[in-house]
Structure 1
Amino acid sequence: MTTPKALVAGNWKMNGVAANLAEIEKLNDLIAGGGANCDVLICPPFTLIHQSVQAAGERVEIGGQDCHANISGAHTGDVSAAMIKDQGCSYVIVGHSERRTDHGETDEMVSSKADAAQKEELVAIICVGETEAERDAGDALSVVTSQVRGSIPADATADNTVIAYEPVWAIGTGRTPTADDVAEVHAAIRNVLTERFGDAGNSVRILYGGSVKPENARELMSVANVNGALVGGASLKADSFYGIVQAYD
């Protein structure tokens, strides 16, 4: 079984203006000088995608943070997968817990968005994760595996699908689950992926997210079935984000 190449992805969320593009340029320079034994991705806000593609050069890929399920239409304020692809993106995040919570996105909606992204030849990073109440009730595995099953579209392939496990209670809180906790959930996700895709499911990257920082990245990235990270706040500065990338040196 071949271990998939790791992906370290940064989600800038609703942060960043043109002045922050210097951090992407710096990240590109750090990789040029020190290398990266993983794929590196930044997902800036929509307003910065075009400029980010230009700033990133060839060493950093750029993705979107969300897309609409429709290719076009009367959806004021929304952005389609085709628009994201047109700006030079290769990935898009769908189903982030903040979208599920703030915008009431269901597994079905997330699946539709992932399907739209994959039809535009984008890789869909499908986010899943349990709340603190669900974990405390002992439902973490059932919740997460149900989300994985419900959020992967029917026509998805192992090549255009990435799963990002982010325990909701760990996002931006400074709290992280133990390595054993992460291993347990990632193993359960891997089982769902091999059920869905057969042996090819072993090549689907499963990212861990939730208060990932340089200080804990190496331990988390060494856990079985962890094939990279989805990073929030620590991705806003090139130095801290590259410190996470270096977990794969």
Structure 2
Amino acid sequence: MSWLPDLSRVLAGALALTSLTAATERDPLNPTCPLNPNWSTNATMTLTVETRGRMKVMLAEGRVDPGLPERLAAALKANPDVSEIWLRSPGGDARAGNAAGRIIRSNTGLGTRIPSGWACFSACNFVFMGGAPRIIEPGGEFIVHMFTSTGDRAAIDQSVAMGTDATTELIGDVEQDSALLASEDNDFLIRMGVSRKLLTEVMYRQKAVKGSGADKSTRRCLTLEEALKYGVTYAVE
């Protein structure tokens, strides 16, 4: 019967709506961010060189691991004609991210990019900020949080169980390392031409771990306007 809707079109429309909803669904605990950020789950960051359009790019996907700076330096030396590094990462080792960003900056004219639909979180931020220029495409996610010096919660629990002296020592170590890392972050942003207000107004205002109060957010997705304001990105394409 001609008045009945075309079933294939109905199904196609439903699938498109489902995909759009999944892509734009927000995280109820971190409402500035998507529910499922598209960052790579590779245990270590893979570096793959591909030709995209008229330029050669390096796809950097996965966790920022301690061995990344050495691998990145070697990969760039082997591929001096790479124009941009495209990032998709859940973060990882903070100091490795800082070192990788400095390596990128030492390669004059090497840009970084967060493509539409990709996410760059935590230590990945510092890899990205090493680029000159830096581009976040509409739909690309630059996600920040407050760094944690002690990611091993079991170590904290064990220290507390051992008694006051052990806990006090652990707290002292964490505070010292946190102060050093904060100083390194400030120095890095200055060298990369990024406003230090990104740290004081955004990053350091996030919780390191989910709290027990009403606000349980632990990460923040910058808007493109904020990324431009703080000098995180030079341009939006």
Range of TM-score over shorter length: 0.3 to 0.5
Larger helix fraction of residues: 1
Question: Whose RCO is larger (CA < 8 A, sep 6+)?
Answer: 1
**What's the TM-score, normalizing by structure 1?**
0.34
